[in-house]
Amino acid sequence: MPDRFHEGVGRFLVLPRQPYAGEHGHRPDFVTGYPADLIALATIMVAATRLSDGCHRYYFSHLSAKGDDVVSHFKPNKNNIAMLETSHVTIKEQECIISLEEGRLFAKTWTQEGDAPDRIAPILLFHDSLGCIDLWRSFPKHLAATTRRRVIAYDRLGFGRSDPYPGKLGSDFIRREAQHIVPQLCAQIGIAEFIACGHSVGGGMAVETAAYFQARCRALVTIAAQAFVEDRTLDGIRIAQGSFQDPANLARLAKYHGDKAAWAVSAWIETWLSPEFAHWTLDAALAAVHCPVLAVHGEQDEYGTSEHPKRIAAGRGTAHILPNTGHVPHREREEFLIDTIQQFLNGIEPLSR
């Protein structure tokens, strides 16, 4: 990975491989080789995380050319070195409740301040089988900052901070989400054209949404999505089923889903392992997709082979396989994934500064 500097919420700098300095309060030792006008005193970094490719990502709470805009209990000094940009990126976050016939959805939006949110198509995120807004982590914020698009995510019924799912999950739940829930969501939030982007089973929902909203979906992005029922998918689910025999694993999930956690696990496992679901595919929906497609998949995804992104992208777009990556690219390779999505979207709908 080359040395590079990106927009984000706060600022971060990726440097070449070097000894890990710890998680808090340390600076990178390598700052030479950058133009002098891009190096200045700044506030102390708030965290450092090691990337899967051996690089380190250093986060800063704020950057200032004079180093005078600081966190109250830190003081700028010669060790607090960062790279500067000519402008700040500030992301406004808003939460809302969407009232449906079946219950209430919790939704959240990320919008870059200074940009008109309706100027370009927003990105609508669909979470995975055990996911929710909070489990996207920092991905929506950084996606909004880098793409300069409004990002919208919501907890499906039965997940996160939304109401419980009313009854048993049907085998048509993927198509139903696109055709019954998404229209209500778009109407209440005020979404016209959009980009559908989903992870895992959420990728399948994004496909179904693109097929249903042919005139309104500008682009489709899938992340580690399944396009059919595969042995590797079922094997991965059975392994996860065994892991949830440990109450501690269910308790960790309950931090995000509350008393809906057990339902979320059983709905996922029982639906995918049921005989009624064995012949499910996205083939019919894919045939109805007419927008550009980017299908991203980890080379080491434990829930599906590269046949899934190839089928999703076939004749419609690009299958992008990420090396040394598993089933959660937005956490394992967040920066690289966002760059890949940004390049794809810029090729479809380039932005002007």
Read out DSSP for 235-269?
A: HHHHHHHHHTTSHHHHHHHHHHHGGGHHHHHHHHH
- The candidate with the shortest Cα–Cα distance to 48, out of 65, 64, 24, 70, is 24
- The candidate with the shortest Cα–Cα distance to 31, out of 96, 100, 79, 101, is 79
CA distance 193 to 213: 9
DSSP bridge partners of 109? 94, 152
Residue 16 reports pLDDT greater than 60: no
CA distance 163 to 102: 9
What's the order of all strands across the beta sheet hosting 45-50? 4-6, 11-15, 56-60, 45-50
CB-count exposure of residue 197 (10 Å: 0-12, 13-18, 19+): buried
The pLDDT tens digits of the residues spanning 55-110 come to: 333 333 333 333 332 222 223 333 322 222 324 689 999 999 999 989 999 999 99
pTM of the model: 0.77
The pLDDT tens digits of the residues spanning 228-278 come to: 999 999 999 999 999 999 999 999 999 999 999 999 999 999 999 999 999
Phi first, then psi: what are they for 195, rounded to 5°?
-115, 125
The pLDDT tens digits of the residues spanning 193-214 come to: 999 999 999 999 999 999 999 9
Question: Given CA atoms 199, 204, 205, 209 in this order, what sign does their dihedral have?
Answer: positive
Q: Which amino acid is at 103?
A: G
Domains of the chain by start residue, with CATH: 4-83 (no CATH), 91-348 (3.40.50.1820)
Q: Residue 164: which pLDDT band, with cuts at 50, 70 and 90?
A: very high
Task: Give the C-alpha distances (Å, rounded to integers) separating 320 from 19, 144, 227.
Answer: 31, 21, 15
Strands 45-50 vs 317-322: parallel, antiparallel or unpaired: unpaired
| Percent of residues, the chain, with pLDDT higher than 90 | 71
Q: Residue 285: which pLDDT band, with cuts at 50, 70 and 90?
A: very high
CA angle 322, 327, 331 (to 5 degrees): 80
CA 180, distance to chain mean position in Å, is 23
